[in-house]
Structure 1
Amino acid sequence: MKPLCQILSTAQMRAAEDALVQASDSVETLMERAGTGAAEWIWRMAAGRSVTVLCGPGNNGGDGYVIARALQERGLHVDVIAPIAPKTDAARTARARWAGEPVEHADNCIFVDCLFGTGLGRPIADDLLVLLRELALAHHYCIAVDLPSGVDSDNGEMLNEALPNYDLTIALGAWKFAHWLVPAMVQMGAKRLVDIGIQPGRDTARVSIPPVFKAPDRTAHKYSRGLLAVVAGEMHGAAILAAKAAQHGGAGYVKIFAGEGDDMATHPPDLVVDCGSLFNPAPDHRIDAFLVGPGLGRSAEARARLDWVLSCDLPTVCDADALVLLEPRMLEKRDCPIIVTPHAGELEVLANVFGAVGLDRAEQAIELAEGIEGVLVAKGPDTMIAAPGAPLVIMPSATSWLSTAGTGDILAGLIASRLATGMAAHDAAEQGCWLHAQSARRAGSAFSASDLNDYISDAYGEFM
């Protein structure tokens, strides 16, 4: 894992810092690295304008004193507000090196929040909360150092109401879960990371990095690139959306399978639709992966189709209605990979069926991945990917314009397409999410799900 991709809990971050201190560094040295690194980003944003730094009593406040000194040495006017005196040795040393005098009020251009950082577990006291809000309102731009004050670093929850919004958040040493999870991530603005020498840990969560694709081999043909079977149901439009996306996701052949009597007369001419032949005792031996769920319905017939698909024991993506119908018994005899792609409501349904209630979302995703013995893609503004024995992966946030009907079918088609090409299930899930996000970025604003399909090929090219 690349060091700057890992996401650490509060406990993991403390252990990592302790390891640096025991190896050769001091807390003061780490504070200097963190503060001067953060000051570099603040210097760029300030562009010669004056700065106010709010320093708390802990090491986050100590980082603030280092920042103030570094910016003053570069010629910026800096005011420091310190409502509580430093309470750690490193913070006291940083304040002494700054050698200035705090002020009670300041009205500059840039506000830097160094009140509380990683590890805060209780709401901010009322007087400090009022001060934080007033300073944020009095400045043109707001920057949070490490984390915005009032945020739980391990789950992204807001410990106080009506916390400020920030234009920039500068993470120190490693990403924290709150940087990538709602609701906290919504208030953070742009995010940057300062490297202070934290080494990669074993089994730590990580932020997904863009994949690298390649063109098909010169000798490739449609079957060698992967045949994806998309199982249709009551609402054919969803299956067609997913299949169209899959055609752009890398698979060489995408085929919709419908039951006898299903009316699939109106479908795109470049999509092959087979009515009736799928549900024979044995599937077509050329099928490399299944996608089942988009538009499947929740009838007895739909349940029978899902049961049959899972009994074939081929690599499978289950989405939408398939997640509502899924039962533990359907998975008992499977060996091939399975990927499930629930949104928040479907995640709760799975949690009830597979016994993963009473957990936060990250814990729930990990527990459910263990329960299904497969890859779970928990969709949302903070999409996360969990798999048994693998670190949790969080996708960088995509555009909020994806919050429209049908885009989940597109994602399922992309993930299934990558799976059909022979990718490992976890890799297929990540790659599908990247294609989905980049296609949406290219599509711009107020697009429909069918519009999104038009941008997948170009997005694919970005990863080659």
Structure 2
Amino acid sequence: MSNGLELLSPAEMGRADRHAIEAGISGSLLMRRAGEAVARLVASRAGDAASSGRVLVLCGPGNNGGDGFVVAAALSRLGFPVEVALIGAFEALRGDAAMACKEWQGPVADALSAAPDAAAVIVDALFGAGLSRPIEGEAAALIGRVNGARRKGAHVVAVDLPSGVIGAGGGVLGAAIEADETVTFFRRKPGHLLYPGRGLCGVVHVADIGIPVEALSRIGVATFANAPGLFLAELPRPAATGHKYDRGHALVLSGGIEGCGAAKLAARAALRAGAGLVTLAVPSEALAAQAAANMAVMIRRADGVAAWAELLVDKRRNAVLLGPAAGVGDETSAKVLAALAAGRAAVIDADALTSFADKPELLFEAIKDAEGDVVLTPHEGEFARLFHAAADFVALGSSVGRLDKLARARMAARASGAVLVLKGPDTVIAAPDGRAAINENGTPYLATAGSGDTLAGLVAGLLAQGMKGFEAACAAVWLHGEAGASLGPGLVAEDLAEALPAVLRQLLSL
């Protein structure tokens, strides 16, 4: 069943098109519907046809260019002053694009010599999702002129994707259009959500062009936009007759006196996420500080690996979090291995990840042998330290640098056996089975000390309540983003957990 969150790679979108054609919808009809959808948006932005400025439609040599000719013809019929410019020759157009260009009865200029400055609206139908090589030379210069015109006030609408943006991963091939709005079709692509592409798309609109929704099941979609539709059905709700142990018990490892605030933030977040109990395992040097700073969180002394392992004997402590300011070294890695061997659901973050930088395969083997779900929550630096020596990444050699964020997260999840949360403005959550979600509700105000510790605590709190790793990670990332957005400028990490009740109340009312 579709929830509209599916993201299709260009290859998958091609399969969806073919499914529609097999169902009796011709490729030319799909192109007509796509072009007319763009034309409707442009018409709504251009205002009254009699008084609007010129609309410049830039067409490329492929199907994207075909869409552009349909746009131009539709706008002309509505009375808008339209100019069309094409890269290449009519004779080079093939298939549906060749048919579409015949709809345009006006002159066609050379796009490479076009002057976008005079246009009020520019439609980018140059290069679509099928682009396979960098945009260079005169084409790159044209894109530069379009971007310059936009900065002077022209409104730029991209067809499917801004030219130069890679649909599968959001990267840029050489040069890219900076759009105000993008109209795509049937479903969005990962490149609409992953940076830098996300920052080049502007507002993204998804037009229905009649592709049957059954195409999604034929494709077997595994990539999604992260939203409540992915996890709401699994989100824990307390039973009317339940007690605190029914809601799980999260155990959080605290660092020493200089970094114990990170564990405090994580523990508070685990409580706010709904865990019935949270215990901080604290070294003696930080015991007084943590005891004074925490009320609902329980404190247990834990000096060394043996004391930590003793806390794991109580099976009611069913989820653990290790890493926030825990210290990098053999003691931390030994505590991680003990937690995994004890069969607990686990969140491994920060210092706990870096403690395995020179022995990643040891961690991955322990994860694959573990009974509980495991979630890794690295930022880009921690990711690089942990996976640079991982066998699957080493095997790729220098080509690993060409992998986009989605591909890297998927590969890391498969290599490690864990759910991987690759943090950033476009956080990617990937599962070992190939599922992945891209988050889009983050705010730049979350880039503050302790924000990641809070996120790790949210994951731990949800795992403690019995959520599976992928769904818990998706929910935690989304809740973290919503809490941040609700606070806005001036937020500090301590605020995030306190914003969660309102966010959860609204979510659970859906």
TM-score (norm 2): 0.85
Give 1:386's match in structure 2, choosing from 420, 424, 430: 430
Correspondence 1:185 to 2:198: yes
Correspondence 1:318 to 2:342: no
Residue 187 of structure 2 corresponds to 174
Measure, in 1, the Cα distance between the counterparts of 2:448 and 2:332: 24
Correspondence 1:284 to 2:314: yes
| Structure 1 pair 143–318 and aligned structure 2 pair: CA distance change class (3 A) | same
- Point out the more displaced range, 360-369 or 399-408: 360-369
Correspondence 1:207 to 2:225: yes
Q: CA deviation at 1:332?
A: 5.5
Residue 395 of structure 1 corresponds to 439
Give 2:377's match in structure 1, choosing from 333, 336, 341: 341
Measure, in 1, the Cα distance between the counterparts of 2:226 and 2:271: 24
* 1:255 counterpart SS class: strand
Measure, in 1, the Cα distance between the counterparts of 2:492 and 2:286: 26
Residue 359 of structure 2 corresponds to none
Q: CA deviation at 1:316?
A: 0.8
Give 2:249's match in structure 1, choosing from 208, 221, 227: 227
Q: Is the 8 A contact 2:87 2:126 kept in 1?
A: no
Mark the runs of 5 or more structure 1 residues left unpaired by the alignment: none
Correspondence 1:74 to 2:78: yes
Q: CA deviation at 1:240?
A: 0.4
AA aligned to 1:178 is G
Correspondence 1:306 to 2:336: yes
Q: CA deviation at 1:166?
A: 1.6
Q: Is the 8 A contact 2:236 2:467 kept in 1?
A: no
Q: Is the 8 A contact 1:245 1:414 kept in 2?
A: yes
Choose between structure 1 and 2: higher helix proportion.
Answer: 2
Measure, in 1, the Cα distance between the counterparts of 2:462 and 2:160: 36
Residue 298 of structure 2 corresponds to 272
Q: Is the 8 A contact 1:167 1:188 kept in 2?
A: yes
* 2:247 counterpart SS class: coil
Correspondence 1:123 to 2:134: yes
Q: Is the 8 A contact 2:368 2:416 kept in 1?
A: no
Measure, in 1, the Cα distance between the counterparts of 2:162 and 2:6: 19
| Structure 1 pair 333–150 and aligned structure 2 pair: CA distance change class (3 A) | closer
Residue 454 of structure 1 corresponds to 498
Give 1:94's match in structure 2, choosing from 85, 97, 100: 100
Q: CA deviation at 1:69?
A: 2.3
Measure, in 1, the Cα distance between the counterparts of 2:157 and 2:368: 51
Deviations for 1:272-305, whole angstroms, at most 9, x for unmatched residues? 2122365317522211211111111113332332
Measure, in 1, the Cα distance between the counterparts of 2:333 and 2:136: 53
Q: CA deviation at 1:215?
A: 4.5
Measure, in 2, the Cα distance between the counterparts of 1:151 and 1:299: 41
- Point out the more displaced range, 407-416 or 303-312: 303-312
Residue 42 of structure 1 corresponds to 42
Residue 247 of structure 1 corresponds to 271
Residue 14 of structure 1 corresponds to 14
Deviations for 1:100-134, whole angstroms, at most 9, x for unmatched residues? 22355452322111111111011224222222322
AA aligned to 1:61 is G
Residue 485 of structure 2 corresponds to 441
AA aligned to 2:138 is D
Measure, in 2, the Cα distance between the counterparts of 1:286 and 1:353: 36
Q: Is the 8 A contact 2:6 2:221 kept in 1?
A: no
Q: Percent identity?
A: 34
Deviations for 1:432-461, whole angstroms, at most 9, x for unmatched residues? 011001011111124221122332222222
Measure, in 1, the Cα distance between the counterparts of 2:45 and 2:268: 43
Deviations for 1:167-208, whole angstroms, at most 9, x for unmatched residues? 112222332222122222222212121233152121432222
Q: CA deviation at 1:19?
A: 2.5
* 2:338 counterpart SS class: helix
- Point out the more displaced range, 163-172 or 316-325: 163-172
Measure, in 1, the Cα distance between the counterparts of 2:464 and 2:46: 50
AA aligned to 2:300 is D
* 2:36 counterpart SS class: helix
AA aligned to 1:240 is K
Residue 280 of structure 2 corresponds to 256
Residue 147 of structure 2 corresponds to 136
Measure, in 1, the Cα distance between the counterparts of 2:125 and 2:255: 55
**Residues 54-65 of structure 1 aligned to structure 2 (within 5 Å):** 54-65=58-69
Measure, in 1, the Cα distance between the counterparts of 2:484 and 2:433: 31
AA aligned to 1:462 is Q
Root-mean-square deviation (Å): 2.2
| Structure 1 pair 333–133 and aligned structure 2 pair: CA distance change class (3 A) | closer
Mark the runs of 5 or more structure 2 residues left unpaired by the alignment: 357-361
How many residue pairs were aligned?
A: 463
Q: CA deviation at 1:6?
A: 2.2
Q: Is the 8 A contact 1:290 1:309 kept in 2?
A: yes
Q: CA deviation at 1:363?
A: 2.8
Measure, in 1, the Cα distance between the counterparts of 2:35 and 2:278: 53
Q: Is the 8 A contact 2:254 2:326 kept in 1?
A: yes
| Structure 1 pair 224–47 and aligned structure 2 pair: CA distance change class (3 A) | farther
- Point out the more displaced range, 423-432 or 297-306: 297-306
